Every structure is written in structure tokens, then in C-alpha cells.
Structure 1
Amino acid sequence: MAVEASSSDLTQVVALLAAGVIAVPIFRRLGLGSILGYLAAGVIIGPFGVGIFYDPAAILHVAELGVVMFLFIIGLEMQPTRLWSMRKQIFGLGVAQVGVCAALLTGVGLLTGFPATQSFIAGAGFVLTSTAVVMQILEERGELTTPGGQRIISILLLEDLAIVPLLALVAFLAPAVHEDIGWANRLLSVGIGIGAILGLVVAGRYLLNPFFRILADSHAREVMTAAALLVVLGSALTMELSGLSMAMGAFLAGVLLSESTFRHQLEADIEPFRGVLLGLFFLAVGMSLDLPIVAANWRMVAFYVVAYMLVKGIGIYLVARMMRAPHQYALERAVIMAQGGEFAFVLYSSALAVGIIDGEANAILTAIIILSMILTPLAMACLRFFMPAPEQSLDGVDIAEDLSGSVLVIGFGRFGQIASQPLLLRGIDVTIIDNDVEMIQAAANFGFKIYYGDGTRLDILHTAGAGRARAVLICVDKGETAVRIAEHMRNEFPLVPVLARAYDRGIAMDLIQVGVEYQIRETFESALVFGQSTLETLGVDRDEAADIIEDVRERDAARLDAQLAGGLQAGRGYMKGNIPKGNAPVPAPLTTPRHPGRAMDQETATALSKAVGAEEGRDK
């Protein structure tokens, strides 16, 4: 019997791991995110799926530690200095959006006949936007570092902070559902909670750093890991025993250690546990999705998904417009952030545990959140279809028209800025064009005159003076764009010398085939200088190190010629580190020309050939 029980437990562990390993990559490939993958996997293996698990509550209780550790890591990122620098956006825009949306969503519940406490908990949970979904959208759109993206991240940060007082509020609201608890007990509960918070703050400020310093002197990695878990779980237990949430204790511990010298070590120790347990939490949430209840209440679920997303979107749009955001940016923010998020599961689970909502309400609310997350990518696709692409404001920016510099520089990013400096210092008349308005405006603050223009357009090349220039420098960061500009130059202005920046080896070969006079891979020379410095650091004589680097440079040039002669299509096969095959000429001799007495065996030569040839091919 013991063997059968052990086998059954192992089967469930294997099923949990297999469900996550299979579902998450599939959902990420579909663009739906890992969280939805975990949720779907939980539904499949749960009691309303194939039935491998019949008690998701037991798993959920353990998996809540993943949320606890997640909030600890969030706390580690909340240094007081960072919070202060973002205070206006976090505590201005963020508080305004959370407050307005919470009020509107609570109103939806009240208008449809639900009690005030349940309406508030349901609405407050939906206010907490999915950080995973939104961050994925911003990353795919390349907007993480844009001003608009930073505003959204600030709001997400405030919402991450908001879960802590909301969880505390759930604990304080819980006695309201029991009529036999008097005001004295209520005040005692509040006092115990405040005392626990103050005690944790004092302990964190005066004890944690000396504690970790003593442990660090022991040089035992496993002890530091155990200590990190002790701090997180101990803080969580303290808050739970005082009537507050475990997550709140972990968050406070993280904040108190956010400026500690051990912060990065703590984060590295906790991260593996956090990732596994948080995935387990979402699996358990998926198992808890009561499909029969959802099916029996599908009209209610459909109504609240639409109502909550629409009302929250309206609230976000109004706040954005009040903060003077343009119409289109406000609309995009409303669509991106209109869904509920993963922290709503935590809030609803806490509300269920203390009796504010029942199991049926929790199942319905959970389904509403999940469906809103699924609908967000579809809503973004609809927005892109119906809304025109945003036009850049060219206020204060000069268009490239009738220019006539001796040298035309196309692209003024980190590469173009450095490449143009020698020309400017020599007094050469340089014309610079770029199509990034924000960069043009920023460069103007440092005295650079940049004209707005897209180098891939032939008419812009004409008006920018490409035909009258003594040389054209292609300094754009995208390799395909550089090749397109080079093709325009060769076809329209064949007598003008073209010098181009290549992103990698494949783009370099494309540029050579187009016929540019000079090309350079953007990381090649800097990597050689880095390698030479490494040799010198290891004790190699400076002259010998320089000779070795020159050998590498010559071998690379010979190998590039061999690839071109071998007819590899733009070097694409070489991007994986393959060397030329068949009748292609030998890339380089097996003895170093600078050191003829130093023979190189075939194995070493092949390894060097692959190492140098694969350079930048894997550099993402």
C-alpha cells in the first residue's frame, strides 16, 4: 500500500511538471503568454479535466508561497531612491488610475445588485492589470523604454504595490461578515497587525544586514540560501499569525533589504523557488476553475467580462486624457490595460479564505479574469485594424530638403554619433538625417543639427544631397535597412562612395555583394581590442598580442573571401557556425603567418575557424 501511495504521489508530481513544460511553450509561441499556459494546463489536469487531481485547494495552499516569494522580489526592486524618482508617475498617474477604476468597477457591482464589500473586492481585483500580459505587449512593440511605456510601467508598479494594502484590507474586512465579533476585537486585530508591521520594520532595519554579514563570512552558499528562505517565510509567517497576509510580510522584508549589499544574492537565491512555485500557483488556479459553475452562469460571466473591460478601459482613458495624453495614446493604454491580472487570483483566494466571497463567486470571478486576459491580444489586433498608425509630431524638427553636405550620414544612433565626430572635428561639412523624432530633439540639446528623413526612400536621398556628397555613411542599426539604402545608392548614385555599418557577418556579405566601398561589422573591431586586452591581462607580451590579433583579422578576411567565393547565400548558413564545404577554398593557413615556427594542428585550426566565424552570429 505504501508503494502504491508513493507511486500515486510521484505520478501527480510528474503530471504537474509535464503539464507546465508542454503547455507554456505552446502558449508563448501563440503569443498568449506563460500564465495562460499554466492556467490551461491546470484546467486540463484538474478535477474538471482529465481528473489527475481532485483537491486543488491543497496544492494552492502550498503554491501560494510562489506569490509570497514574488512579492519579496518586487520588494527588493522597490528601493526608496527609485520610488522617489518615479513618485509623480507612480503616486500621481498610478493612484489616479487605480482609484478611478476601482470606484467605477465597484459601481458596476452595486448597480447589478451585489453587496458593497463583494462589489469592492471583485472590482478591486479586476483593477490589478496583468503585469505579464502588458510587459509582453510592450516588449513586442519595442516600447519598454519609451515615455509611454514608462508611464504604463509606473502604473503597473503602483498596482503591484496596491496588492499589499488590498490584502490587508481583506483581512480587516473579514470580521464584518461575522456578526458576533465586537468593536473591541476589531480594534485588537488592527492593533496586532500594526504592531507586527512595526516589529518587522525594526527587525529588518537593525538585524537583517548584520545577520547576513555574519552568514556571508562562513562562505557557505547553502546557508545563505537557507537564510534567504528563512527571512521570506519567517516574515510571511509573522504577518499571517498577526491576522495579515503572508504576501504583505514578504513584501515588507524585500523593501527593507532593497538597499542591502546582499540584495542581488538574495534575489538569485529566491528566484528558482519563486519561478517554480509561482507556476505551480497558476496551475492550481487553473485546477480550481469550476467549469460546471461557469457553464451554468455563462451569461453572467460574459456580461461581466465585457462590462468590466469596457468600464475599466473608459476609466483608464479618462485618467490619461486628464493627464494630457493624446487621444490615440490614451486609447491604446486603455486597451492594453483593460484586462484583469494574476494578482486578482491572490486577492480572490484571500477573500474566499476569510468568507467574503463563496466558492461559486470565486470560480466566476476567476473565469472573468482569465477570459479578459485571453481577449487582450484580440482587442489589440482590433485596435490596430481600426485605428491608423500614430503620426510622429515634427514640431521643431527640420525636414531633409535641398541639403548639400560633403558627407551624408544616415542614422545618428550610438554608431553614427561616434563615426561623425572625427569628421566634425576635421571641419568637414556633414549632413545628418534620421527618422527618430525623439532622438533628433534630444541631439539638438547637445548642439547637433539633425534633419528628419527616411534613408530607405529614394526621394529623401535626393533631397538630402546623396547625389552631391563626396561620401555617404550608412549608420542605421537594422541590417536589412542598411542593405536597402545601399541598393538605392548603387542603383541611383553609382559614383558616390558608400561606407556602411553591418549588423553581423551575413549583412556584411550582403553589403559587399551590393557593392559598397567599405563595410564593418559593428562589434568586430571592438571585440578584437577586447581580446587583445585579455591576452595582455593574462601576461602575453603587448607586441605578441597585437600580432595574434592581426592574425585573427587576416584569417577573418580570408574566411569572408572564401565564403563569398563559395557562393553561400549571404552567409546565412554560416550564421550557425558552419564552415565552407565542398570545393570552397581553405579559409586560412594552418600555420600563423606572424609566427611561422608555431604550427597549429587541425583540431585547433578548426576550433579557431568556428570560433571566429561564428562571431556575432549568436550575438543577439
Structure 2
Amino acid sequence: MAANGELYSPLVSDALVILGAAGAVIPIFARFRITPVIGFILVGLLVGPTGLGRLVPSHPWLYHFTISDPEGLDLFAEFGIILLLFSIGLELSFGRLWQMRRQVFGLGSLELLGIGAAITAVLALVGHSLGGALALGLALTLSSTALVLKITSTATPVGRAALAMLLFEDIALVPIIFLLGAIGPNAESGFGAIAGTIALGIAVVAALLIGGRFMLPPLFAQAARTKSPELFLAASLLVVILASLATAAAGLSPIVGALIAGLLIAETEYHVEVEHITEPFKGLALGVFLITVGMSIDFAVVAQNLVAILVATVGVIALKALVTGLLLRVMGARRGTAMETGILMSSPSETTLIVLTAATAAQLITPATEQFWQIVTALGLTITPLLALFGRSMGRQLDGALPATSLPDEQEPRAIIVGFGRVGRLVADMLKAHDKPYVAVDSDTDLVTEGKHQGYVVTFGDAARGSALDRLGANNATAVILTMDEPVSTQRLVRKLRGEYPDLPIIVRARDTTHAAELYRAGASQAVPETLESSLQLSEAVLVDLGVPMGPVIASIHEKRDELRIKLMEEGGLTEKPSLRSSSLRERPA
């Protein structure tokens, strides 16, 4: 035991505090349907060196409930942001990014330049030097990728606009840092260094894009064949880390490499499974980042400059919201979308802290000025979820009853086929023959690869684990068809889907009549026993060969099928007719 009553090393003690915070914050805030973002920042305030950490010398037992090495968490916090950008890349794909090029380089550049110029002008008028005002203007212009994309969905107009601006800001981060170094009073590197770094960065990015297209599919195919989630996770993290290290070595931000890694994997059939399997790590690492944000707030400095901090925070938020909203209106966005996006993007960013550090190193601002704006940034990050709720409410009032963030996904509602073996492929053929959109998912990489080569819409994923079906759009699906020959996992998946989506039509392949009754009991809309269908097909063939006309044969087969199905439902404890439980593959209302 150490002198201060330390039972564990600082690293172990800090890890226990973080895990305990995650175990308490996430369920408590989820219970009240509040984003855990605020909870993690408040935990950072409480357990940081300016919170309970101040009392450790006089109360050594508090050591076990505080963070003893805030700087040691920086690496984990950065890893959380890297995984967040990686997940953004998984959602995008190169096709979608190309479609967004006008928004990224048009809206994104206008937003950065417009807000940066406005904040720079205001700060210069209140007494800052031109170089200091420019540094602060560029820093405060940046918005939080980590929080904004956690709050909104990139499938909505608000999310797409925010994503475009955030992507440009992330791309511009490195040139901004180099610019501050070049204009500093003791600058050693000029614009030649910037051009050299950009050229090297372009070469590294091109190498990643070319190499990734050839190397990633066989890598993930091999990992998928092992049926080992651990190996699949290791391959995913390896790709992210190597891409991030490559761009960092070239002088770019590691988040650029993470984004590229996500984009490359998004082009493969494994992106759904990769996104699912890395989700827990992203959430925990992002929580660590938010804790470090809370720890950066010094209560003593806040108390001494409370009025100035509040005025600065409100001023930055109001100015950013106004400029962003006006730009979106000029580019044709609806009033509600412009209002909500402007407010959502109005708080400073985690990257603001990076630019502030670079500005201080370049001697453009003093350490005291840096600390003041760090507190403003931390306060802005803390209230970002509240700003999002306020913006959503304002957008709803401007656009009427339908909030901008609840608009349906652009993706057309489609059927989801789980399992792409013999049965799943036949179902896909019939849906395609009748022009019904679908997507199939299977955990067998060979089936997926073969299906894609033959023109089927199929992706890799393990539907039995996690939220793979959610990511494929189960909330908007016309139906989910389960074709796997695994009775136990099928029944478990039916129960899970029925609990999450009460109105979703679920059509299931059953092994026999007993299994079908169990599936109805679990919540299936239709359960089709293979033994029953083979008996009916055999009866149909016999009747036709005996000379019975095809019309009456088909009618009697359908009648017998409905009769047996109702009997199976009754055995499963259900009384309503199948036609009332399932909308089959009819289009669901938007």
C-alpha cells in the first residue's frame, strides 16, 4: 500500500473509476432517456483534479474515487474519437461521399470561413491581436464530431448537413494547425512545410485507398471463415490502427486514416458486422474522452470569471448558430432544418482544444487565454445535448408537426432475408421477380461472396448477435424472413425482433409443426414448416397425376394450408388468423 492509502497503481485505480462511471452513468441516464454525454462530463467534473481530487491530500480514501493521472487518459480519449470517425466512414461509402461532395466542399468551406471570419472580427474589436483573434476564430469555428454525430442520424437532412460540415472541418484541421505555426512570432516553418505535408498526406491516402481495395476483402473473408468474433474484432482494430498510424506519420490527423479505413470497409460485404462488433469499444472510449473534457474545467477559474465565461459561451453559440442557419437557408434548406442544424453545430469542439494548444505553442495567445477558452469549450460541449433538444423543438415549430430529425430514411423500405442458403436464395429470386426490394444477410462469407458475384443484394453479418438487423433497417422493413435451419437461434431471434418491433411482419422457416408452434408462440407472423410444405407439394403432384384439374387442386391446397396453419397457431397459444397477423410483403406506410 502506498503512502496515500493507494491499494492499486494509478493506472489500475483510474481504470476502475472509469469502468465504475460507465456502469453507473449509462443505465441511469438511459432510464430517464437522457444522453449519457452529460453524465460522463459531470463525472469528469466530479472525479477530476479540480473536483474531489483536490481533497485527496486531506482525505486519502478519496484516491480510489478520483482520477490521479488525467494526462494518462488522453490516449484512450483520442482512440474514442478515432473509432467514431471509423464508424462514420462505415456509414458513408465512397459513393455516398461523392454524392455529398458539393455539401462537403461547398457548404463545409463556407461554414468554416464564414464563422471563422465573424468570430475573428468580433475578437479583434474587443482587443485581441489579429493573429490571436484569427487563432481563436478558427478554433471556435470547429464543431464536435464526437457529440453531434452521436446525437443525430446521418440519414436525416439535419444529419447530412452536419456531417458535410464536420467532414470538411476534420479535413481542414491539419492545414489550420500548420497555418498557426507559420504565422506565429517565432515561426520556423513557412508555407513550404504546409505544401510538403499536404503532398505527403495525399500520397499516403492514395496508397491506403489502392492497397485497401485489394487487401481488405481477403483479410475479412479469412477472419469470417474462422467464425471467431475475437479474430474479426482484431482484424477490424488492426485496420483502423494501421490506417491512423499511416496518416499520423505523414503529418495528417489520425482521424483521417480512421475515416478512410471505414470508407474502404464500407465497400465490402462485411461492413455491417464490423460496425456492430466495434460499437462497444467506441462507446467506452468516447466516454473516456468526455470524462477528460469534464476534468479540464477548473472550478476556481470558473468562479473568478463566471460572467465573462457565460457571455463568451452564449456569444459563440449564438454567432455560430446564426451564420450556419443563414448559409443553409441560402443553399435551399428548409427553415426548420436550417434552424436545428445551426443550433446543433453551435457549440465548440474537442478539436477546438487541439487548436488552442497549437495557438499557445505558436505564442499567438497566452496560457491564461487558452485556459479561459478551454473552459468555454468544455461548457459548450456539456450543453450540446441540451442545444440539440432545443434545436429540434425550434425546428418542429418552424416546419409544423413533423420534426426535421424524424424524417424517414432515404433508403426505400425493403424485406430483410436472414440466411442466404438454398431457401434464402429462392426467396430472393421470388422477391426480385415481383420487383420487391430486399437485402439478404448471412454469416457464411463464401455464400455472401458467391451471391454478390451472381448479382444478389447480400451482405455479411451475424443477425443472431447485436444490432445487425437494426443497421440494415429493420425499423423500416416491409418484412423479415428468417430462413436459417437453426431452431433454437431462430426462436430466440423471433422473440427479440417481436419485442423490439411489435408491428414488423416476421416470416420464418420452421423445421416441423412442433417448431412452427413454438415460433408462433415467440411472435412469428407466419411460420412455414418444411415437413408440412413437402406433404402439400406431394399431395398436389398426386392429385394432378390423377387427373384433377389444376384450379381445384391449388384451391384445396391453399385451403388445407390455412387450416393447418390456424391449428398450429392455436397450439402456439394464438387465436387470430394468419391474415390478420401479417401484412406479408405489402408496402408499409411511410
- TM-score normalised by structure 1 residue count: 0.58
CA distance in 1, matches of 2:288, 2:247: 23
Match of 1:372 in 2: 380
Match of 1:154 in 2: 161
Verify: 1:81 aligned to 2:95, yes or no. yes
Letter in 1 for 2:181: A
Q: Which moved more, 1:254-263 or 1:36-45?
A: 254-263
1:325-404 counterparts in 2 under 5 A? 330-345=338-353, 347-348=355-356, 360-375=368-383, 377=386, 390-391=399-400
In 1, are the aligned partners of 2:48 and 2:294 still within 8 Å (CA)? yes
Task: Label 1:94 to 1:541 Cα distance change in 2 as closer, same or farther (>3 A).
Answer: farther
By how many angstroms is 1:132 displaced? Answer: 6.7
Structure 1 unmatched runs, 5+ = 394-413, 415-476, 478-504, 506-520, 562-611, 613-620
Match of 2:42 in 1: 40
Return the match for 2:78 from 56, 64, 71: 64
Match of 1:179 in 2: 186
Match of 2:199 in 1: 194
By how many angstroms is 1:205 displaced? Answer: 0.9
CA distance in 1, matches of 2:388, 2:90: 34
Return the match for 2:111 from 93, 97, 107: 97
Task: Label 1:293 to 1:132 Cα distance change in 2 as closer, same or farther (>3 A).
Answer: same
1:436-455 counterparts in 2 under 5 A? none
Return the match for 1:17 from 16, 19, 28: 19
Letter in 1 for 2:267: E
Task: Label 1:335 to 1:57 Cα distance change in 2 as closer, same or farther (>3 A).
Answer: same
CA distance in 1, matches of 2:186, 2:174: 21
What are the Cα deviations for residues 78-111 of structure 1, in whole angstroms up to 9, with x where unaligned?
3221123334444444443333222212222222
Letter in 2 for 1:338: S
Percentage of pairs with the same residue: 26
Task: Label 1:217 to 1:136 Cα distance change in 2 as closer, same or farther (>3 A).
Answer: closer
What are the Cα deviations for residues 496-535 of structure 1, in whole angstroms up to 9, with x where unaligned?
xxxxxxxxx9xxxxxxxxxxxxxxx955796779765542
Structure 2 unmatched runs, 5+ = 54-65, 403-412, 414-475, 477-497, 509-519, 537-556, 583-590
Q: Which structure would you say has the larger Rg?
A: 1
By how many angstroms is 1:286 displaced? Answer: 1.5
By how many angstroms is 1:202 displaced? Answer: 1.7
Task: Label 1:206 to 1:331 Cα distance change in 2 as closer, same or farther (>3 A).
Answer: closer
Q: Which moved more, 1:297-306 or 1:81-90?
A: 81-90
Match of 1:284 in 2: 292
What are the Cα deviations for residues 129-188 of structure 1, in whole angstroms up to 9, with x where unaligned?
44676567767xxxx86xxx41553233331342232134314533543626254xx625
Task: Label 1:349 to 1:549 Cα distance change in 2 as closer, same or farther (>3 A).
Answer: farther
Question: Which SS does the other structure have where 2:127 is aligned?
Answer: coil
In 2, are the aligned partners of 1:12 and 1:53 still within 8 Å (CA)? yes
By how many angstroms is 1:61 displaced? Answer: 3.0
Return the match for 1:231 from 235, 239, 251: 239
Task: Label 1:32 to 1:361 Cα distance change in 2 as closer, same or farther (>3 A).
Answer: farther
Task: Label 1:560 to 1:172 Cα distance change in 2 as closer, same or farther (>3 A).
Answer: same
In 1, are the aligned partners of 2:84 and 2:146 still within 8 Å (CA)? no
What are the Cα deviations for residues 47-70 of structure 1, in whole angstroms up to 9, with x where unaligned?
011112243122113321211222
By how many angstroms is 1:279 displaced? Answer: 1.4
Return the match for 2:529 from 516, 526, 535: 535
Task: Label 1:388 to 1:189 Cα distance change in 2 as closer, same or farther (>3 A).
Answer: closer
In 2, are the aligned partners of 1:33 and 1:133 still within 8 Å (CA)? no
Task: Label 1:201 to 1:268 Cα distance change in 2 as closer, same or farther (>3 A).
Answer: farther
Return the match for 1:305 from 313, 318, 324: 313
By how many angstroms is 1:26 displaced? Answer: 4.1
In 2, are the aligned partners of 1:167 and 1:347 still within 8 Å (CA)? no
What are the Cα deviations for residues 578-598 of structure 1, in whole angstroms up to 9, with x where unaligned?
xxxxxxxxxxxxxxxxxxxxx
Match of 2:435 in 1: none
What are the Cα deviations for residues 269-300 of structure 1, in whole angstroms up to 9, with x where unaligned?
44333222221111122112222223222232
By how many angstroms is 1:356 displaced? Answer: 6.1
In 1, are the aligned partners of 2:359 and 2:365 still within 8 Å (CA)? yes
Match of 1:274 in 2: 282
By how many angstroms is 1:198 displaced? Answer: 0.6
Task: Label 1:351 to 1:235 Cα distance change in 2 as closer, same or farther (>3 A).
Answer: farther
CA distance in 2, matches of 1:225, 1:327: 43
Match of 1:244 in 2: 252
Return the match for 1:209 from 208, 214, 218: 214
Question: Which SS does the other structure have where 2:529 is aligned?
Answer: helix
Alignment size in residue pairs: 433
Return the match for 2:177 from 170, 173, 176: 170
Verify: 1:549 aligned to 2:565, yes or no. yes
Letter in 2 for 1:251: L
Task: Label 1:113 to 1:157 Cα distance change in 2 as closer, same or farther (>3 A).
Answer: same
Letter in 2 for 1:150: P
CA distance in 2, matches of 1:287, 1:206: 40
CA distance in 2, matches of 1:150, 1:386: 12
CA distance in 1, matches of 2:257, 2:152: 30
Letter in 1 for 2:380: S
CA distance in 1, matches of 2:252, 2:341: 33
Match of 1:420 in 2: none
Task: Label 1:188 to 1:374 Cα distance change in 2 as closer, same or farther (>3 A).
Answer: closer
Task: Label 1:163 to 1:120 Cα distance change in 2 as closer, same or farther (>3 A).
Answer: farther
Letter in 1 for 2:186: E
Return the match for 1:114 from 125, 128, 138: 128
In 1, are the aligned partners of 2:119 and 2:137 still within 8 Å (CA)? yes
CA distance in 2, matches of 1:389, 1:33: 25
What are the Cα deviations for residues 212-261 of structure 1, in whole angstroms up to 9, with x where unaligned?
51563364444443333233222322333333322223223333444234
CA distance in 2, matches of 1:207, 1:153: 26
CA distance in 2, matches of 1:69, 1:208: 20
In 2, are the aligned partners of 1:72 and 1:253 still within 8 Å (CA)? yes
Match of 1:568 in 2: none
In 2, are the aligned partners of 1:98 and 1:127 still within 8 Å (CA)? yes
Return the match for 1:319 from 314, 318, 327: 327
1:499-578 counterparts in 2 under 5 A? 532=526, 534-536=528-530, 541-542=535-536, 548-554=564-570
By how many angstroms is 1:314 displaced? Answer: 2.1
By how many angstroms is 1:345 displaced? Answer: 4.4
Higher relative contact order (CA closer than 8 Å, sequence separation 6+): 2
By how many angstroms is 1:556 displaced? Answer: 7.5
